[in-house]
Structure 1
Amino acid sequence: MPAGPRPTGPRLLLPGAALAVAGLLVSGCTSGSSSSSTVSNASASPTGSAVPGSNGGVQLQEDYQRVIGNVLPSVVQITTPSGLGSGIVYDTKGNIVTNAHVVGAAQTFAVSLANSTKTLDATLVASYPDSDLAVIRLTNPPSGLRPAAFGDSAKVDVGQITLAMGSPLGLSSSVTQGIVSAIGRTVTEPRSPQSPGVTIGNMVQTSAAINPGNSGGALVNLNSQVIGINTLGAVDQEANGSAAPGIGFAIPASTVTSIADQLIKQGKVTNSGRAALGITARTYFNSSFQPAGAVVVSTTAGGPAATAGLQPGDVIIKLGDTQINTLNALTTALASLQPESKVGVTFVRDGQSRTADVTLGTLGS
């Protein structure tokens, strides 16, 4: 099992899946294809917030236009055989960061820059579905590429103004506005042709509209900095699956830059920043065929669980103070923890309950 974060909040829905959560579903943001970490409350101190007086609205409008002029040239449209999404120019070498569910299984892509009607060829550098991130590279990068500036995730705070940029429904270079609605969200994507059903921690929740095609695009502050990659938007199950206004999620900039740097330099991820037990597991069902824990299928030699004495066949029933009755519950509990932290793991072996202190490792490639 990928022993990384699982949701404490709403589960996410990519196209083709259908999971109900408190009347809301969450939709993947590609078009045409069917740990919550603590975040500092330090302010990003964006310039241009509307101020009392007759020119406050004009000043804010000018700030919006300035940010759009600064960042929109860094946002691209990505077309694959199964649909389209968005991406962000990462460097002058032609590397573009996007969502793994945008690229899917494709190896080649057509990329449209914001300032050109001509498409450019690109190929896959590497993909890391466990964090729903990928990097593609333009085959012949043009001169004048404008890489985006990424912000400090520790300075993202609730209430800050945000702009979401991308290609919703194929409408390239579109911009919507909102605020940071919450930080530190942990959400999960169900399995689909584009996603293996991963969970992403520390997500930024925004009220800026995020629609199919926005995936991989930029969530931007008023300092013209990317604070996240637009990834998912909510839909309202009680309204026949229509969009739920004002509920979208973006992968935080700190995760984006860490994963992208590793994919570009190494072609793989060796340090995801996510806690792991170092096991593969599955849901355990009791004699009444009810889920009753997560049974260890195998352990990584020298890994956290093996070092603490866990063995294949052990049934994990508690992580810290959290009861575990499914594999999903186990990875949900891991979402709130950090690598190198110590946690008590309660498990059943040969009918006897035992507890081991495990120092968590890091989920890698």
Structure 2
Amino acid sequence: MDASVTRGRVRRLLPPVTAALATAALLVGCSGSGAPTAHAPARADVAAPRKAEAPRRADGGGLQADYERVIKDVLSSVVQIDAANSLGSGVVYDAQGHIVTNAHVVGGENTFKVSTATGGGAIGAKLVAAYPEQDLAVIKLDAVPKGLRPARFGDSSKVEMGQIVLAMGSPLGLSSSVTQGIVSATGRTVTESRAGGGTGATIGNMVQTSAAINPGNSGGALVNLDSEIIGIPTLAATDPDMGGSAAPGIGFAIPVSMVRTVADQIIKSGKVTDSGRAALGVTGRTVVDSGYRPAGVAIVEVKGGGAADKAGLRAGDIITRLGETEIGTITSLSEALAAAKPGQTVQVTYSRGGSVRTATVTLGEI
């Protein structure tokens, strides 16, 4: 079944963000074993000697100590962003006061109030640039407060299923909040709605996590136990069979590799000059069959000199497959392209005038 994408606007709170998945799973709770069995007390003369317990560390030791260390290391690099009628989160990117966040956090605003962990009042900030295609943006503080500490960013190639992670941000306006979970999966491709201020971005290679991601967490930090940012929490799934309510434990973060790629270009050039995103160079729409089921993507316009144009595709053609991926909707086409690379050669299956044809296409770049 398909997961739906919805948003609701709450005054001064970042609206919920949801992901459209290729498939969604329902989870059920597990109960414990049967009722306990009573035992007669052992006789004193045959009782086994009691095993001595290992001494406990005053701080809880082990995992708890790791959590406390990571929170101390990283939380001071996570900020709260007030963008007119909504709140979101951001991560201190460098010592010059650049903050990376989601494009849907900044919306159409150009000026913001940022609350940092250094204390004091909110600091003004201005938009450097937003890149809605990847739902990322960079803003810059008007003044860099003393003690502002940039976050440390990790390596996306080392992110693995089962890793323990912490999500840090300002859910529901509660600044400096932390939740915990694991990396549930990597390499997910999800699509965000345009409703309620969403960017409509289709984002590939996202990190799926069980750490709670609530309205206001967007733009914050997903952190490993080495105190490294491995992603920017962005989306939380909803279950259409539950009336569009949140699907617990299914959230998504933009991988740090893409965060760094986009942020570095924005800081250097004021815009993204090399997206790394594959494109066909067409404008399309979903078409349905006689049973009103999605049946492909009709090309409405072909960009001159683009990948599709060079391969001989034209307006009116209906794309039904990209490589090995069946294409039924414009969303499925966007997701297939998000998983591909510019310069990659793929076979496109399409229909023209009732006949099925194929074309070999060298993908371009957004």
List per-residue Cα deviations over 1:53-98 (Å, max 9, x = no partner): 7669512222211111111111000001121000001111111000
Instruction: Give yes or no for the alignment of 1:14 onto 2:14.
Output: no
**Which of residues 158, 164, 169 is equivalent to 2:167?**
164
Structure 2 equivalent of residue 31 of structure 1: 13
**Which of residues 307, 310, 313 is equivalent to 1:307?**
310
Change (3 A) 1:154 1:214: same
281-290 or 77-86: which moved more? 281-290
SS in 2 for 1:346: strand
Distance in structure 1 (CA, Å) of the matches to 2:220 and 2:158: 20
SS in 1 for 2:104: helix
Indicate conservation of the 8 Å contact 1:10/1:187, yes or no: no
291-300 or 306-315: which moved more? 291-300
Q: What root-mean-square deviation, in Å, do the aligned CA atoms of Structure 1 and Structure 2 show?
A: 2.5
Distance in structure 2 (CA, Å) of the matches to 1:325 and 1:167: 38
Distance in structure 1 (CA, Å) of the matches to 2:246 and 2:357: 47
Stretches of structure 1 that go unaligned for 5 or more consecutive residues are 1-7, 17-27, 37-52
**Which of residues 59, 64, 69 is equivalent to 1:66?**
69
Indicate conservation of the 8 Å contact 1:235/1:244, yes or no: yes
**Which of residues 271, 283, 292 is equivalent to 1:280?**
283
Matches within 5 A, 1:38-77: 58-77=61-80
345-354 or 204-213: which moved more? 345-354
Structure 1 residue 338: deviation in Å?
A: 2.5
Distance in structure 2 (CA, Å) of the matches to 1:314 and 1:235: 34
List per-residue Cα deviations over 1:94-131 (Å, max 9, x = no partner): 11000111111111100000231410001111111111
Stretches of structure 2 that go unaligned for 5 or more consecutive residues are 22-53
SS in 1 for 2:197: coil
Distance in structure 2 (CA, Å) of the matches to 1:234 and 1:283: 23
**Which of residues 140, 143, 157 is equivalent to 1:137?**
140
**Which of residues 106, 124, 129 is equivalent to 1:126?**
129
177-186 or 308-317: which moved more? 308-317
* Identity percentage of aligned residues: 59
AA aligned opposite 2:218: S
59-68 or 287-296: which moved more? 287-296
Matches within 5 A, 1:97-112: 97-112=100-115
List per-residue Cα deviations over 1:155-183 (Å, max 9, x = no partner): 00011111111001111011111111111
List per-residue Cα deviations over 1:335-362 (Å, max 9, x = no partner): 3322222111112223332211111122
Distance in structure 2 (CA, Å) of the matches to 1:108 and 1:269: 20
Structure 1 residue 229: deviation in Å?
A: 0.4
SS in 1 for 2:82: strand
Distance in structure 1 (CA, Å) of the matches to 2:290 and 2:249: 44
Distance in structure 2 (CA, Å) of the matches to 1:55 and 1:200: 45
Distance in structure 1 (CA, Å) of the matches to 2:156 and 2:2: 20
Indicate conservation of the 8 Å contact 1:75/1:89, yes or no: yes
Matches within 5 A, 1:316-327: 316-327=319-330
Distance in structure 1 (CA, Å) of the matches to 2:312 and 2:248: 48
AA aligned opposite 2:13: S
SS in 1 for 2:195: coil
Distance in structure 1 (CA, Å) of the matches to 2:80 and 2:239: 27
AA aligned opposite 2:7: L
Distance in structure 2 (CA, Å) of the matches to 1:32 and 1:322: 35
AA aligned opposite 1:325: G
List per-residue Cα deviations over 1:225-280 (Å, max 9, x = no partner): 00000112234555565543322111110011111111222222232222211211
Distance in structure 1 (CA, Å) of the matches to 2:280 and 2:239: 35
Structure 2 equivalent of residue 113 of structure 1: 116
Instruction: Give yes or no for the alignment of 1:197 onto 2:179.
Output: no
**Which of residues 337, 342, 345 is equivalent to 2:340?**
337
Indicate conservation of the 8 Å contact 1:217/1:230, yes or no: yes
AA aligned opposite 1:186: T
Structure 1 residue 289: deviation in Å?
A: 6.0
SS in 1 for 2:226: coil
SS in 1 for 2:61: helix
Indicate conservation of the 8 Å contact 2:4/2:240, yes or no: no
TM-score by length of 2: 0.82
Instruction: Give yes or no for the alignment of 1:357 onto 2:342.
Output: no
TM-score by length of 1: 0.82
Distance in structure 2 (CA, Å) of the matches to 1:232 and 1:328: 16
Instruction: Report how many residues are paired.
Output: 327
Distance in structure 1 (CA, Å) of the matches to 2:186 and 2:294: 31
SS in 2 for 1:72: helix
324-333 or 146-155: which moved more? 324-333
Change (3 A) 1:54 1:221: farther
Distance in structure 2 (CA, Å) of the matches to 1:288 and 1:158: 40
